[in-house]
Structure 1
Amino acid sequence: MINNVVLVGRMTRDAELKYTPSNQAVATFTLAVNRNFKNQNGEREADFINVVIWRQQAENLANWAKKGALIGVTGRIQTRHYENQQGKRVYVTEVIADSFQLLESRAKENQAANQASMAQHAPYFGPTTPMDVSDDDLPF
């Protein structure tokens, strides 16, 4: 069987770094990945993909990659479920990352993050592909 994922996108927020009771680092974040096509209005859409990364890679990501950073991620898709407080089964699909790589210089990353912060309803997801997405549209 093959379960291999490669993603390139921008972080929608800083990674949330936590530690398990056995002191294992784990970071979670969401990656905005542009689709390869435009919608009927000629606009490019994006998928917002939840990612989990463990151990030293989690600490490195939390220290070096911030909101707006363009990163590449390799890993696998994992599904799980749990019962919420109302007793309803909730299914979760996420990417478990094995590694990540920063894909642009720190100066460009800061520029992208600043442009995303300045544009209230058009976050910056690429050099020539602004999107009309408000914070209310984000799944987190």
Structure 2
Amino acid sequence: MNRVILMGRLVRDPEIRYSQGENSLAIARYTLAVDRRGRRNQQGDSNQPTADFIRCVAFAQRAEFAEKYMHQGMRMLVSGSIQTGSYQNKDGQTVYTTDIIVDDQEFADSKGQGGGNSGSTGSGSFGNSGFTGGGSSIGDGFMNIPDGVEDEGLPFN
């Protein structure tokens, strides 16, 4: 099984390109800074990085969402699959790549929290079917329970 889930902050605004041809396809590339859990300067080396920088690639509607709503500094939750590849650079050396192919991306902060997310929307996800905000929110980032959901099916009172 090839599945990865990451939470990190956008290093810079996503880079968006469109494929050429009759049916152009949006392609977004962005990098997440993902903190290393429990590894802050264990050997006392202050030059040791405390985050990994993971490259992510989103296609079609997910890419358009990234272009419109995602900005540098925002904390995002991304899930997808790892894809490796390689190419020859201009010096003839083989360069190996590792990217996350995005299946789903969500805001990990509430509307007022994220760093550098001026003008962004609140929480929501953008999966295979498009942006789903999840209904009306109460105001503090929580979603109202829709009418018609029976109370005894919920795990709390």
TM over 0.5: yes
Runs of 4+ in 1 over 2 A off after TM superposition: 40-44
Q: Does 1:113 align with 2:155?
A: no
Q: Does 1:39 align with 2:38?
A: no
Give me the whole-angstrom Cα distance separating, in 2, the residues matched to 1:13 and 1:7. 17
What TM-score does the superposition give when structure 2 sets the normalisation length?
0.66
Aligned partner of residue 113 in structure 1, secondary structure: coil
Amino acid at match of 2:27: V
Q: Does 1:77 align with 2:82?
A: yes
Structure 2 gap ranges (5+):
118-157
* CA separation of 1:88 and 1:42: change in aligned 2, threshold 3 A: closer
Partner of 2:73: 68
Partner of 1:56: 61
Higher helix share: 1
Aligned partner of residue 106 in structure 1, secondary structure: coil
Structure 1 gap ranges (5+):
115-140
Partner of 2:121: none
Give me the whole-angstrom Cα distance separating, in 1, the residues matched to 2:101 and 2:61. 14
Partner of 1:137: none
Partner of 1:136: none
Q: Cα deviations across residues 46-82 of structure 1 (Å, max 9, x unaligned)? A: 1110111110011101211100001100100001111
Amino acid at match of 1:46: A
Partner of 1:25: 26
Q: Cα deviations across residues 61-118 of structure 1 (Å, max 9, x unaligned)? A: 1211100001100100001111111111111111111110011133222xx238xxxx
Give me the whole-angstrom Cα distance separating, in 1, the residues matched to 2:88 and 2:45. 40
Greater RCO (CA < 8 Å, at least 6 residues apart)? 1
Higher strand share: 1
Give me the whole-angstrom Cα distance separating, in 1, the residues matched to 2:7 and 2:110. 15
Please tell me whether Structure 1 or Structure 2 has the larger radius of gyration of its CA atoms: 2
Amino acid at match of 1:39: N
Partner of 1:91: 96
Aligned partner of residue 108 in structure 1, secondary structure: coil
Count residues in correspondence.
111
Q: Does 1:13 align with 2:12?
A: yes
